[in-house]
Amino acid sequence: MSNNPIRIAVVEDQYFFRLALRTTIDSRPDMQIVAETDKGSEALSMCRTCLPDVVILDLRLPDVSGFEVIQQIHRELPRIAILVLSNYEGSEDVRRALAAGALAYLTKDADAEMLIRGILQVHSGKRYVSPSVGALLAEEISAEGLTARELDVIHLMAKGCSNREIGERLGIAENTVRVHVSRILDKLGVHDRTQAVMRAVERGLLH
């Protein structure tokens, strides 16, 4: 495992917020900010030049939509993990950011500990959302009617379990599992198991 610090680039138009990020990150020996910009239009070229491990990105930029920046970076440099840090907190914004290629979504009121946890999570390839965002998405998906048993099933689907394995773990018949899976797909508006898991991740149900 590499002992090199996590290389971080920042795309944020508020100077004092960038300064606060630098203060937090520079206090850790395992992380360093290698580049920063206040313009979304410069983000991709900056990433091409410095090849960071993680990009911290605001959605509200003065020139280019943060969603567009996420798509550009994810399309050309997919190994770079993107962490959104924004004042936007609507479920649609979160879904769009994750669908565009971001791995994490935090709001700007997140404390230093949460930010560091988010950086570590995305650097290891995992998704992460702040508790407030997770609660928002959980409320939304609960409103769509997933039952407690269906939540159990989709968690096991995310682990790659077959219908038979899910049935064995939950103590229910394989045919019953098929019924649960069918209802999950219908409620989430998707057509297969992979899409169901992706949709659940996007909405904060799975991490």
- In this predicted model, what pLDDT tens digit does every residue of 28-87 receive, in sequence order? 999 999 999 999 999 999 999 999 999 999 998 888 989 999 999 999 999 999 999 988
Asked if residues 170 and 152 have their Cβ atoms less than 8 Å apart, the reply is yes
- In this predicted model, what pLDDT tens digit does every residue of 89-124 receive, in sequence order? 566 688 788 889 999 999 888 899 999 999 999 999
Q: Look at residue 133 in the predicted model and tell me its pLDDT.
A: 76
Delineate the domains of the chain, giving CATH numbers in brackets.
Answer: 6-138 (3.40.50.2300), 144-202 (1.10.10.10)
Find, among 11, 207, 57, 20, the residue nearest to 124 by Cα: 207
Find, among 199, 104, 103, 105, the residue nearest to 150 by Cα: 199
Q: Can you tell me whether residue 12 is helix, strand or coil?
A: coil
**How far apart (Å, rounded) are the C-alpha atoms in residues 27 and 119?**
14
The larger pLDDT score, comparing residue 153 to residue 95, is at: 153
Q: Look at residue 43 in the predicted model and tell me its pLDDT.
A: 95
**How far apart (Å, rounded) are the C-alpha atoms in residues 57 and 37?**
10
Mean of pLDDT values over 157-177: 93
**pLDDT at position 143 over 50:** no
10-62-76 Cα angle (round to 5)? 50
pLDDT range class, residue 203, cuts 50, 70, 90: low
**How far apart (Å, rounded) are the C-alpha atoms in residues 193 and 199?**
10
DSSP string, 126-169: --EE-HHHHHHHHHHHHHTT--HHHHHHHHHHHTT--HHHHHHH
Mean of pLDDT values over 137-150: 66
**How far apart (Å, rounded) are the C-alpha atoms in residues 55 and 36?**
9
The 8-class DSSP code of residue 49 comes to: H
Task: State which amino acid sits at residue 130.
Answer: S
Give the chain's largest Cα–Cα span. Answer: 58
> What length does the chain have?
207
Q: Look at residue 11 in the predicted model and tell me its pLDDT.
A: 96
The share of the chain scoring above pLDDT 70, in percent, equals: 89
Q: Look at residue 104 in the predicted model and tell me its pLDDT.
A: 92
Q: Look at residue 39 in the predicted model and tell me its pLDDT.
A: 93
Rounded to the nearest integer, the mean pLDDT of the chain is 87
Mean of pLDDT values over 136-150: 66
**pLDDT at position 181 over 60:** yes
